[in-house]
Amino acid sequence: MSGPDLNLLFTLDALLQQGSVAGAGRKLGLSPSAMSRALARLRTVTGDPLLVRAGRGLVATPRAEAMRDEVHRLVEDARAILRPADTVDLYRLDRTFVLRTSDGFAETIGPALIQRVAEEAPHVRIRFIRKLDKDSTGLRDGEIDLETGVVGISIGPEVRAQALFEDRYVGVVRAGHPLARGKVSAERYAGGRHVLVTRQGLGLGAIDEALEMIGLARTIVTTVDGFAAALALARGSDLVSTVPERHTIGLRDGMETFALPVETDAFTISLLWHPRMEGDAAHRWLRQLVRKACVDVLQVAPGG
């Protein structure tokens, strides 16, 4: 008994990603009539229309919507298996990589990375998504190609990690703020009105613990979930923001930065990926580019 034609998975992926018979045909190098025949076969195999006409275009059925991501992952996994481990034609590489990073990392390192990618692999696209927690599920299921962050206990034990750079927390205020003049003592720092970034695993609690040991406490006026938002609020008010120094080089432009008046540990930002991508030549190329982009940007930064 013959099994299913697995080539139909690639056709189905193209149709669901493009939402168009003509677009899928161009992606696969097939004529519109050939793609129409392939869609008819898929409808027979799945027992579902998959794409139905709506006005001048096509829309996916509920079943097609439900299977879109799973089909795409299967196709990407198949391509990774069949791709030669040590070779990749970067000029012909047509692929979207998803990077989950903090907003500060995307703002600071992103432009240099995009420029390097454009020079070496013009058909490759980079999609940045915000990092709001340390859950590594996205790496395991293939939704995320690379992630940056501090390696912690919540990271899956199988996840690969490579150090990119060290960072430390600094205080930042708008130009002309009272803390921009003179030495910032622990009393002056604690006496300000603060915007706090609240996100799992940031380690900002060590600052408040150090202040508490000398009988001081910060006044938290508002909380946000990202460094960019904290700096935007501080830029337009008298709030004090506490953010990673190297992550936020571009975001702090035109603002005043000072060393924290309490002792805090530096922390290492690492590049994270799932071991199933270890032998993927294109993925390995991108990992190298991220590291090079960090060097390009941070070697001239304070502490670089």
Q: CA 286, CA 189: separation in Å to the nearest integer?
A: 41
CB 255 within 8 A of CB 175: yes
The pLDDT of residue 107 is: 87
**What's the start-to-end Cα distance of the chain, in Å?**
64
Handedness of CA 62, 63, 68, 69 (dihedral sign): positive
Query: Which helix (DSSP H) or strand (DSSP E) does residue 141 occupy?
Result: helix 137-141
**Confidence band of 304 (pLDDT split at 50, 70, 90):** very low
pLDDT at residue 197 is higher than 70: yes
Six token digits for residue 101: 């990073």
Q: What is residue 204's three-state secondary structure?
A: coil
On the question of pLDDT at 301 being above 50, the answer is: no
Contact 189, 179 (CB under 8 A): yes
Note the pLDDT of residue 1: 45
Between these two residues, 58 and 115, which has the higher pLDDT value?
A: 115
pLDDT for the residue numbered 42: 92
Contact status, residue 293 vs residue 160, Cβ threshold 8 Å: no
Edge-first strand listing for the sheet containing 146-149: 124-130, 95-101, 146-149, 267-273, 160-167
Burial (CB < 10 A; 0-12, 13-18, 19+), residue 237, is middle
Sign of CA dihedral 238, 244, 250, 255: positive
Q: What is the DSSP letter of 252?
A: T
Out of 40-54, 93-107, 152-166, 269-283, which region has the weakest mean confidence (pLDDT)? 152-166
Q: Which residue carries 């009393």 as its tokens?
A: 187
- Please report the pLDDT score of residue 198 as a whole number: 83
Q: Tell me the pLDDT tens digit for each residue of 42-88.
A: 999 999 999 898 887 888 899 989 998 888 888 888 877 776 666 78
**Strands of the sheet with 169-173, listed across from one edge:** 219-224, 193-197, 240-244, 169-173, 256-259
Residue 290 has pLDDT above 80, yes or no: yes
Q: Is the pLDDT of residue 176 over 80?
A: yes
pLDDT at 278 over 50: yes
3-state helix, strand, coil in the chain (%, to 5): 40, 20, 35
> Where would I find the beta strands (DSSP E) of the chain?
51-54, 57-60, 95-101, 124-130, 146-149, 160-167, 169-173, 193-197, 219-224, 240-244, 256-259, 267-273
The model's confidence at residue 239, banded by pLDDT at 50, 70 and 90, is very high
